[in-house]
Structure 1
């Protein structure tokens, strides 16, 4: 094209003459209208008219265009022929190539295992029939992310008469991390990698089931709690005695008594009917009494200590149940308003002083059938005073309003707000 352009410029004496190409008109010679008089008549055939120029074709350019287009077509045909020829040759080597790829991928994975095991000081695991003995186990991802901060390792012992661990302790203390690290150590061992622990003796798990963290499936109309129950069901239906189950805070997506009842029923069912190795973390401290009832269940807790009115998480797993909850301390760390924290502490003292929960009296006759279930009385009907105290009009209104509250359908914050409003009415 450049050679032809130079040739035509010399022939016509038009320095601005151009040879170009487009998909619609093919190759052309473009001359501005000011230079049209310099063209030799009969040699140039008009092809396209522009605002400031005319485009032409010559017999020589037609010939070259045909050669170029034919060459392009030939190139495509030849390229496809070479491709099919190469494809046929490669087909004969496919089994060898696949075997080579498989061996290279295995070597790549093993080399990766070896590198991280050496760099991160992992240990060769041992396998057992039923025993779990992880000494100073670590979470491989959390440990890597923490970098300079010192990761607190933890032990995990499971086996005969110790198939389930009920883990209590405050939020943010490391319950979830502890559970996940046991699962990750098991997976790493079973895929042939060294593990992040000082010592690891593990059984071969056929499956690992988890219910960790909140997840909504709003598109298909499933709430967080429904997802939680479906994941729990999946574990309960499919797990065997050789499985590992991780249940983190099961039951917290519904009311307190509902959640606690479900959590206990799930623990008992897994204990009695499945027998899988199970780590079950909970904030329902009432469940820790199950250790006396279920011979395969043991309590462990994440250690925390109070220091100058604030809580310090030690991230250490210890035997036994946690002595108390630290929810208000966590709220304090989250920097909720001081008035709110102080009020929560007062309410907690009142609740602790009045006992854990009221005894529900035995109902001697069937209640009247109503459209909605009646709210149980907060007061023990068996201990009525001889004479009801006389109440002022204001006190009676507050008491009536208090009785009408459906506390089980409230969040703790809503209950606090209602209590505060009622208290203000009495002043």
Structure 2
């Protein structure tokens, strides 16, 4: 009798369940909005076009903890952020943080950041490290094939979507030879840089990709520190393979800490040093030695403009920041003039 009554009212029960879930969502959003200012959540600005700016953002699961916040800036002129660093530094957490802040903003929720400005996105595409990376026996897929499927899905979606997209790529090419993996990762990064409307966070361990900013000013390389006990905070890395991607055998340190046999650890360290020496190449000088500083100054100006317009930066602080940028560019101009004169004298 009971089941007959349930069966007869199943439509009403479904509507009720949907209404309760919607109410639960709205109440959750309201609780975040009622959090005291400065407690970690803020109302984001979601606007048509323009850059993606997150100031001191955190992963939603870490918003109430003492996790180190990290900021993000992606724009039409700087659409790809290359992120490197050792294992356990927080690279994957950071990339998911950016995606989740964008999704929460579009859902109408407050976001875990000091300030967030999110452009209207048509889609959020991810190639992320998940359990599926171990492959699938049922589907007869290797882990590398699963990676390539994900990237193919991302590139196809970019090719058919006219709007802005946020792309998160968390390491690709790991499950094949190093040469093939580096080549695939580089080619995919190039493709994403050339894709109109794509804002990308691209995580990698490959040394070769440290050269991307030398060729593409639209790529910013940032790195987590490999120092033990350091805060999980991103800083801008220099271009070239020896600046930002070198992990100083952190992976081997981790293996040693877990309890690998001493002889295995010692042999791994020796082989790692030998391989690093064999691969060492002098970095190529960029065509314009000051292009990175100029691009950084342009990004800085755009961020200052957004923060000042929202009342998050005082007039005095804005003047001080602008004076600092002016002094940096003046030093760059003087250094360039000196180098030019020295070259003519020679």
Fold match (TM-score > 0.5):
yes
How far residue 216 of structure 1 moved from its aligned partner, in angstroms, is: 1.6
What's 1:109 paired with?
25
| CA–CA distance in structure 2, aligned partners of residues 101 and 355 of structure 1 | 60
What's 2:285 paired with?
none
Preserved CA contact (<8 Å) 2:84 2:245: no
How far residue 296 of structure 1 moved from its aligned partner, in angstroms, is: 1.9
Structure with bigger gyration radius: 1
What's 1:252 paired with?
174
Preserved CA contact (<8 Å) 1:208 1:245: yes
Number of aligned residues: 262
Correspondence 1:378-417 to 2 at 5 A:
none
| CA–CA distance in structure 2, aligned partners of residues 333 and 176 of structure 1 | 21
| CA–CA distance in structure 1, aligned partners of residues 224 and 174 of structure 2 | 19
Q: What TM-score comes out, normalization by structure 1 length?
A: 0.56
Task: Call closer, same or farther: CA 1:235–1:156 in 2, change over 3 Å.
Answer: same
| CA–CA distance in structure 1, aligned partners of residues 150 and 233 of structure 2 | 28
For 2:108, what is the secondary structure of its paired residue? coil
1:218-263: per-residue Cα shift (whole Å, max 9, x none)?
1110011101100110000012451111111111110000000000
Correspondence 1:7-406 to 2 at 5 A:
106-119=22-35, 121-128=40-47, 129-143=49-63, 150-213=66-129, 214-239=133-158, 240=161, 242-305=164-227, 311-321=228-238, 322=244, 324-325=246-247, 326-356=250-280
1:117-146: per-residue Cα shift (whole Å, max 9, x none)?
4456410001232211111111112446xx
| CA–CA distance in structure 2, aligned partners of residues 274 and 225 of structure 1 | 27
Preserved CA contact (<8 Å) 2:46 2:106: no
Which one scores higher on RCO, CA 8 angstroms, separation ≥ 6?
2
Q: What TM-score comes out, normalization by structure 2 length?
A: 0.68
1:145-196: per-residue Cα shift (whole Å, max 9, x none)?
xx5xx21111111113111111111111100000000111111111111001
| CA–CA distance in structure 1, aligned partners of residues 137 and 84 of structure 2 | 30
For the aligned residue pairs, the C-alpha RMSD in angstroms reads: 3.0
How far residue 356 of structure 1 moved from its aligned partner, in angstroms, is: 3.0
How far residue 103 of structure 1 moved from its aligned partner, in angstroms, is: 6.6
For 1:352, what is the secondary structure of its paired residue? helix
For 2:232, what is the secondary structure of its paired residue? strand
Task: Call closer, same or farther: CA 1:330–1:118 in 2, change over 3 Å.
Answer: farther
Task: Call closer, same or farther: CA 1:252–1:354 in 2, change over 3 Å.
Answer: closer
How far residue 102 of structure 1 moved from its aligned partner, in angstroms, is: 6.9
Preserved CA contact (<8 Å) 1:127 1:204: yes
1:53-107: per-residue Cα shift (whole Å, max 9, x none)?
xxxxxxxxxxxxxxxxxxxxxxx8xx9xxx7xxx7xx9xxx8xx96x98776544
How far residue 312 of structure 1 moved from its aligned partner, in angstroms, is: 3.1
Preserved CA contact (<8 Å) 2:165 2:198: yes
Preserved CA contact (<8 Å) 2:205 2:245: no
1:337-370: per-residue Cα shift (whole Å, max 9, x none)?
222222222223333344438xxxxxxxxxxxxx
Task: Call closer, same or farther: CA 1:337–1:133 in 2, change over 3 Å.
Answer: same
Could you list the runs of 5+ residues in structure 1 that have no partner in the other structure? 1-75, 306-310, 358-427
Preserved CA contact (<8 Å) 1:168 1:285: no
Task: Call closer, same or farther: CA 1:112–1:140 in 2, change over 3 Å.
Answer: same
**Greater share of residues in helix:** 2
